[in-house]
Amino acid sequence: MLRFIIRRLALSIITLFLLVIIVFLLTSVFPNDPARQLLGPFQSQEAVDQLAEELGLNDPKTEQLGRLVKGVATGDFGESYSRPGERVMDLILPALGNSAKLVVLGLLITLPLSILSGVLAAYRKDSLFDRSVVTLGLATSAIPDFVSGILLQYVIGVRLGWLPATSNAPRGTGFIGSLEFIILPALAIVLVYFGYIARVTRAGAVQAFESDYVRTAFMKGMPLRRVINRHVLRNSLQPTVAVIGTQIGFLFGGLIALELVFNYPGLGSMIINAAQDQDLPLLQGGVIIVAVLYMIATLLADLLISWMNPRARSVTAS
């Protein structure tokens, strides 16, 4: 197990390094001139050149890359261009916190609901309940997150007025109080992911219910609930865990439209703004943070899976 973790970590570090290079290449081929963008059209060319020099934009590419790598290693991506005087990290952290709040709330509702439905659908395969879960799940996950977001916003937030229609909590709202503001976007996440995760879980659970070892458990006289907890979940949740692991990155960095709809300052909208403003350090920092989150999530998922599946463990170890 330890060897597996070490190898997996080493692999992650190599991936991270490659990723930094890719992010650097992508951001450094921007067509426009960040210094001109910052100063606006009316400043003199000298001032622009001088700023470019100060920002290190004229340094050799390798030197710029070196700075970025160092930044990643120390967690310091320098100063923001668009909001001079503010450290990039200080801008990222609150956005990250906001995203985390939304994602965690969304998953806290989605996971139990979809896993339970998936397992029960598998247990009662081909029943009305099973068909409803599958069809409903397909229907809701076919709707983009921001569309269901807008619908929720309009119906629950505006027409019924049960919950705040935007998610920007007023200053000074406590943690608990602020949760009320993000229930609607969290529900949009639930709508997108419920069907997906329920279906993946169902597929695994169908297999488990048909397996000989579950038969053995029933034949021991084990009650259904214990059979599910002990024998079905452990083997059928492996694909579910893998799916969740790969979706975390998207949830943190990809909910751009949803965040815009609810005017919620998460990581996704921060990154898109940084790109529009040609705020290179903020953009690089944001993208790399999302990538690191993605890597951590898949790493954790892999570890969890190998803990769930001793056979895979012994294969990768040997």
Partner 1 sequence: MSAPASLTDRITSGAMAPALEVVDLHMSYIVRGVPREVLRGVNFHIQPGEAYGLVGESGCGKSTTAYAALRYLPGNGRITQGEIRSGGRDITSMSSKELQAFRSSQASMVYQDPVAAMNPSLKIGRQVEESFKLIGQSASDAKASAYAALEQVRIADPTSVLDRYPHQLSGGMLQRVVIAMALASKPELLVLDEPTTGLDATVEAEVLDLIRALRSETGAAVLLIAHNLGVIRTMCDRVGVMYAGKVIEEGPAQEVFDSPEHPYTVGLLNAIPRAGLRKTDRALYSIPGELPSIGTDLPTCVYIDRCALADEKCKSTPPPATSVGEGHQTFCHHVDRVGELRDAEVGAFSNVSSDDNVLQLTGVAKTFRQAGQDIPALVSVDLGIAEGETLGLVGESGSGKSTMAKTMLGVHSYDPGGDIVLDGVSVPAAATNRTPANSAAMQMVFQNPDSALNRVWTVRRILERSIIKLTGASKDDARARAEDIASAMRLSPRHLDMRPRQLSGGLKQRVAIARAFAGDPKLVVCDEPTSALDVSVQSAILNLLANIQNDQRTSYLFITHDIGVVRYLADRIAVMYLGRIMELGPTDAMFQGVNHPYTEALLSAVPSVDGETRERIPLDGEIPSPKNPPSGCVFHTRCHRFVEGLCDTKEPELREIAPGHMIKCHLDVADLGVVPVQVQRKGSTFGEADGAELQSSDSFDDTVVEGEQVDPEDTVND
Residues that bind partner 1 (CB under 8 A): 125-126, 211-213, 215-223, 230-231, 234-235, 308-311, 314
Q: Are 34 and 55 within 8 A, CB to CB?
A: yes
Are the CB atoms for 206 and 122 separated by under 8 Å? yes
- C-beta of 25 vs 315, nearer to partner 1: 315
CB of 209 to partner 1, least distance (A): 9
The answer to whether 152 and 236 are in contact (CB under 8 A) is no
Rg (CA), the chain: 24
Beta carbon nearer to partner 1, 156 or 308: 308
**DSSP state, residue 231:** I
* Token pair of 253 as six digits: 């960095």
Give the separation between CA 228 and CA 223, rounded to whole angstroms: 9
Q: How far is the CB of 301 from partner 1 (least distance, A)?
A: 16
Least Å from the CB of residue 217 to partner 1 = 8
What is the dihedral sign for C-alpha 149, 151, 156, 157?
A: positive
Cα–Cα distance measured from residue 21 to residue 61, given in angstroms and rounded to the nearest whole number: 11
The CB-of-7 to partner 1 minimum distance in angstroms stands at: 17
Nearer to partner 1, 30 or 218 (CB): 218
Q: How far is the CB of 8 from partner 1 (least distance, A)?
A: 19
Gap between the Cα atoms of 114 and 184, Å rounded: 18
